[in-house]
Chain A
Amino acid sequence: MEGRAGGGGGSGGGDYISSLLNSSPRLDFGLLAGGVPVMDGVVAAGADAGGDCLDKLCGDPGFAERAARLSSFNGQRYAGAAGLFEMPPPAPAASIGDFGCGGVGSREASSVSDPASTMKDAIAKKRKAPGGKGKGKEPSLSTSCQVGEEKESDAKRYKTGEGEKESPVKPKAELAGSDSSVEDGVQKQGKGKNAKPVEPPKDYVHVRARRGQATDSHSLAERVRRERISQRMKVLQDLVPGCNKVIGKALMLDEIINYVQSLQRQVEFLSMKLATVNPLDFSNLPTLLYKDMYQACGPSASPVFSLESSNSAFPFSEQGDVFQSFVPNTMENQCTLNQLDLALSQATNAQYAFQDGTANANLQQRNFWEDDLQSVFHIENGQSQENGVSAPSFHGQLQAGHMKMEF
């Protein structure tokens, strides 16, 4: 049976971020996994990126990789991550330049080049001396950052030397190029490249504007959204059998729809088959199931099961408070149990409504159920202390229930 893979799709983005960030033990990104609302497509308002953020980030040799990957943070707002990175939400329409030392200068969309250049400077510095400064401490890199700021023109010359088109496109693409080159530099320790290799498609956190693509906030958000959708389509592709041969979103969607429909039809068919199953077999199932669950879950969970089972036969109102008090927190969902209570109460009412018209066979089956419940309940009684307090009250109700049944 498939359990939840990777914590479920709901936190898929967070898992990616955490996996990315955990790749480097140096920086303490441990808390980030939960707090990053990535890929919401929300364009943040202003950037407060301090210089110290880049210090921390520059201090890591893997920084360039992560910088490249996390460049999608630009278009989004993270209140949660801000404190962690010491990097508050970046500017809108911001390219990768805002990432890191964006706060040095401007917070507006128009002045992208400034922080971009500072970013580039830092990376350029890094590229130029990756061995030394890549592993440098934060203070040394803070100086390098400031030095980088001073040598802005230097870096700009370096950047323009790569032959870019326009300033809005420049920071991103240049940075893209420099990022890839820095990666190479980091990995190969000092090989500087002026070439602009085609960026390999990263995982879906990373959004990198390719050459010639617009970098405004809308297209960025769109791109992020598209990557999210494609990522989820991949997940679905793994789930749906036979979807691997199909390529293309529309066809895959058709496959998925067909699969869901077929599963639902199967449920209908199987429920039809189960409706005609011999009902006498059910008398033993609850016992076995409870026993099995007891052995598997451990004593902490089983009292809840036994209480739930006893709930199904007894008036709910009398037991409501006791049941609530005994729901252990180790159970998966308290919410579902509450809903279960509602369901059981209504089921109980329905049962008592039907009781007038039930045949003898049904009564016998219900007595089977009661007997099983009793036996199971006393099993639990002997082995868990929690039940000890409520046992007498349940005993009384058990007997009362039985007396009700056997008229």
Chain B
Amino acid sequence: MKALDKKLWRDLWHMRGQALAIALVVMCGVGTYIMFLSTLGALRATQASYYREYRFAEAFVSLKRAPESLRQRLQDITGIDRVETRVVAPIRLEMPDFPEPVTALMVSLPDDGQQALNALYLREGRLPAPGRGDEVVVSTPFAQAHKLKPGDRFTATLNGRRQPLTLVGTALSPEFVQQLRPGAAFPDYKRYGVMWMGRQALGRAYDLEGAFNDAAFSLLRGADAQSAIDRIDDLLKPYGGLGAYARKDQRSHRFLSEEFQQLGTLASLFPGMFMGIAAFLLNVVISRQVAMQREQIATLKAFGYSNGDVIFHYLKLVAMIAVLGIAGGTALGLWLGKLLSALYMEFYHFPYLIFALHPATFAEAAAATLLAAVAGTLFAVWRAAALRPAQAMRPEPPARYRESVVEQLGLKRWLSQPTRMIIRHLQRRALKSLLTLLGIALACGIILTGLFQRDTVGYMLHVQYGMSQREDISVTFTDPASRRALFDLQGLPGVEHVEVFRAVPVRLRNGQNSYRTAVRGVESGGEIQRLLDADLRTVALPQDGILLTDHLGRILNVKPGDTLEVEVLEGSRPVRETTVVGLVKEYMGVSGYMELAALNRLMREGPVISGAYLSVDSAYLNELFQRFKEMPRVAGVAERVQEIRNFNRVMDETMLFFTYVASIFAAIIAFGVIYNSARIALTERSRELASLRVLGFTRGEISYILLGELGILTILAIPLGLWMGNWMCYYIAHSMQNDLFRVPVILVPATYAFAATVVLVSAIFSGMVVRRRLDRLDLIAVLKTAE
């Protein structure tokens, strides 16, 4: 081996602690990057493949009733490839293991078992036998939630008639990756599921024999979806068509794409930030390492090594550290990515998972790391090599120290000699001190970005369910009901207070911008359901006009005073107009709100309601659930605590896991940076400190000089870091807005304290290592080697 390469290995071994710390920082940056992007890639690839292989439809429509003969005319529409007509009905279930109300969506299967679209992935058992009207296939997550196996039986209410059903199989469907009860924001497999039975039997139960009330379509390649949808609407108008919609508006798909998009945002922000910060730190640390070897560089040059040789030598050193970090980061990232993808696969109930690291992802991470390392090295070597060797070999000119600002302020006599040394040193190497400060601060800041989402979720729950939707139970009716239903509810046991609402499915439109959602008519002055403005003050409901979720206002590009077109998606599907009177703050979902009577007026209907919010005495809950089961017009019952639980579960299983990992990595980065700063300071100044020891300074005193400096930098870096972290959080939150959530930035004191603690503990630990080294400082050796 060449002597220069031996030097390389020995230098590397000599600085192994620091090299490891640097590699760790790189590892966390690369690891985060690869974890996020590989997970996202796996989810997207799996979704795409699942959709393709199981023929997920591209357009959907629900209607009242159309004869099967219409199928051919649908098929003839330009651009339509396949058509699947079916019967779809909401049903109620009585589960033997579960007292609360359970609802489900029953979807018909073609009697020949050949699904043209939205094919089932049969997990267990078999499809219903032809002609067996009592056999059903149940969605796997629902079956799992109730521990159902093929052969199990339960009772369902189909079109008002109770009927026993036998489970013959469990399955997954690309159409119901997310199974959401209408109105719910999160899946709850215990209370809502999807199941499938033969077309004939289901048709018979709903008087739809030889007819259908739902259809799905696939499109020819390159077909114009919108014009096909318009034609479907034209064709189905006489049959109570509720407006066809494209895949992008399909509920499960939209939920999924919103979530993936959110993940995608996280996946581009976090790793970008981490990589950026890791690269910056690598750069700073490396350039200081190399700068310390300035005399050795000069010696090499004196003996005829060229600038190129020297640069190459140090690049190899740095590349080794970087490669170690990249390799470790890739392994770690892949491992975590696999773990996470598997978690997500379970969460979404994908039938299988396609996991592969995209070469470009790896290349990006490696390139960014190496670039930062190389830039840092080049800069430092260049500065050392640009000096004429004669000059570089002279010990660095005695630094031009000055009285520090603090001393000039007249505090001098209060400061001990060592303290003055600390302050003067900090001031003289202002740039270096600043970079160290910035490094520690950044490390402190990114810890917050990993943690803030947890705080935020808590806050969102508090606002949404503690201040805005405060009911204990919400009840929805199968069809709009007369206001008299209110009295029935008030008479139920344990019911303390009832507020009614009307919900109308609509498409809101302002010129080019439109959005499918529901308009909710609520009673003004209600205690349970309250609308809040940006400052969380209750908004009074106007006598007329509509209030929109602020995010919906942005989507539709409307402001108070604008006129909005309301296309009703039920009944005779009238198109009306109303005025936007204001925007309300909501962190979850997007809706429009009107005063109940105003909505009834807009709909040109009497005092009709769709459901009610109840506050109840929890002691009566089970009795209440029992009574609801006996009320055929009650389509669904939702409990607020369950919503909160579902919300928390979804959060825990998805986003928060990511961010936990991110915060751990951030903590490691913080440690790596601080440890390195301390070690470099030690190496840079060991000669000076050894000389002081020779002059009679004690170990404590020289430790104080060195560690005092680190301490001051750390103390200054923490508030700066918290402040910067706050901004990073705002940036993330802002980028993550979507229809499902708008994430506010909430950071509770405990989170700040945690970030500060990580930094402090890292500093103390590093300080202890340095102190131990100082105690063992070999005075002779240090003074003997002429740097």
A and B bind: no
